[in-house]
Amino acid sequence: MSDRAETRGTAEGAPDVGELTPPDRTLMGPGPSDVHPRVLRAMSTPLVGHLDPSFVEMMDEVQELLRYAFRTDNRWTIPVSGTGSAAMEAAIGNLVEPGDTMLVPTNGYFGGRMASMAGRAGGEVVEVDAPWGEPLDPADVAAAFDEHQPDVFGFVHAETSTGVLQPEVPELTAIAHDHDAYVIADTVTSLGGVELRVDDWNVDVAYSGPQKCLSCPPGASPLTLNDRAMDKVLDRETDARSWYLDLSLLEGYWGDDRSYHHTAPITNVYALREALRLVAEEGIEKRWARHREVAGDLKAGLQELGLEMNAPDDYWLPSLNAVRVPDGVDDAAVIDHLIAEYDLEIAGGLGDLAGDIWRIGCMGHSARPKNVEYLLAALEDALAEQGAL
């Protein structure tokens, strides 16, 4: 029996699991990233009701801060209760109606998730191809539009599975709009980390997550829709298949009425509010520049160790650095060594890139010189351990 059980004890027959003592990790994987201490403090403040006048005020503030981070004036800008996938499913499940066709990309893991969600929403899925590790070519998107005439086009702005940033977003949205289609952008690993301009780039719907470049725990996930997209949602002939994520119902809570739909994850909204205040204090453009700068040092350091980036410089994604695993090196052993010896989290590859890359995040509060230096020193040791240096 542990000391703790002797001093605190549990009731007869009840499990004794001890006090919560999570390890003190440095999070440099594909998310979650290190949480800013101010965000953690915000989460330990007292709960109020989800319709409390003070909370209603906070909801307005969060919406205003989200508009700033997304660079949008969209009225329909809310945190969805749940992780990034909930905001993703709210976007796809509301915009795609049975009989609609959605065009999705094949160049990474999250395009595949878009396809699954569109199919479940009753949509027909068509694809625009690019290999894992490359962005979409606007010419291919235009060809796919001519061939399939999709109603909705989804793309991943920052593909966390490959470390690729999709360039030429305004060109992609122009193609879609020439065909009267709606554009949904996955901005989970770009919001608050790399340049993203929802209004200037004419993105109709963008969703994100709090635990990547906003450095906030998962639980309340940003979503924004312009009026054109929201009109499609409100004009649906059939109800969205998810009651919980039905935006026409959520409108009652986040819109003018402020009536009960479900109990908002209050503490997560506090956290997001504080995380977004940090964005506002730093300035969104300065924040993008910081990510480029700090991750640029990370990239240079990785290259000095003899490692090769998976994405060419033109599509390099500062918030997620995909690095090729050198021949003869056991990718999992390096990951295990970093956790065991340095309390440092990075991740391996997924799907087509499993075993081929490491994924090193440089997001939000983790995008600091201190983290980068620590990671480079730890990785050098892990590679030496493998005889790779």
Ligand X SMILES: *Cc1c(COP(=O)(O)O)cnc(C)c1O
User: Contact residues for ligand X (CB under 6 A)?
Assistant: 31, 83-85, 88, 110, 156, 160, 186, 188-189, 209, 218
In the complex, the smallest distance separating the C-beta of residue 353 from ligand X, rounded to whole angstroms, is 14
Order across the sheet with 205-207: list the strands.
Answer: 76-82, 219-225, 205-207, 182-186, 152-156, 101-105, 124-128
Closest CB to ligand X among residues 206, 382: 206
- Omega of the bond prior to 32 within 30 degrees of 0, cis? yes
Element housing 163 (H / E): none
Residues 6+ apart with CB under 8 A from 26: 34, 342, 343, 344, 345, 366, 371, 374, 375
In angstroms, the CA 364 to CA 154 distance is: 25
Query: 3-state class of 31 per DSSP?
Result: coil
Q: Is the dihedral of CA 324, 329, 334, 336 positive or negative?
A: positive
Minimum Å gap between C-beta 157 and ligand X is 8
**Cα–Cα distances in angstroms (integers) from residue 106 to residues 84, 90, 121, 141, 171, in the given order:** 19, 21, 19, 12, 19
Closer residue to ligand X in complex, CB, 217/376:
217
133 versus 209: smaller Cβ distance to ligand X: 209
Nearer to ligand X, 156 or 388 (CB): 156
Q: Measured from the CB atom, is 216 or 376 closer to ligand X?
A: 216
CB of 31 to ligand X, least distance (A): 5
Q: Which is nearer to ligand X, 103 or 320 (CB)?
A: 320
For residue 292, the 8-state DSSP code is H
Nearest residue to ligand X, by Cβ distance, number only: 84
- Which of 143, 195, 191, 192 is closest to 169 using CA atoms? 195
CB of 12 to ligand X, least distance (A): 40
Query: Residue 345 in contact with residue 338, Cβ under 8 Å?
Result: yes
Please report how close the Cβ of residue 110 comes to ligand X at its closest, in angstroms: 4
**In sequence order, what DSSP letters do the residues of 319-366 get, joined into one string?**
TEEEEEPPTT--HHHHHHHHHHHH-EE-EE--GGGTTTEEEEE--GGG
Would you say 72 or 189 has its CB closer to ligand X?
Answer: 189
The DSSP H or E segment spanning 130 is none
- Tell me if 372 sits within 8 A of 361, measured CB to CB: no
Q: How far is the CB of 88 from ligand X (least distance, A)?
A: 6
123 or 218: CB nearest ligand X: 218
Based on CB atoms, which residue is closest to ligand X, 135 or 209? 209
Which residues share a beta bridge with 225? 76, 205
Amino acid in position 194: V
Closest approach, Cβ 186 to ligand X, in A, equals 5
State in angstroms the smallest separation of the CB of 85 from ligand X: 3
Query: Least distance in Å: CB of 93 to ligand X?
Result: 14
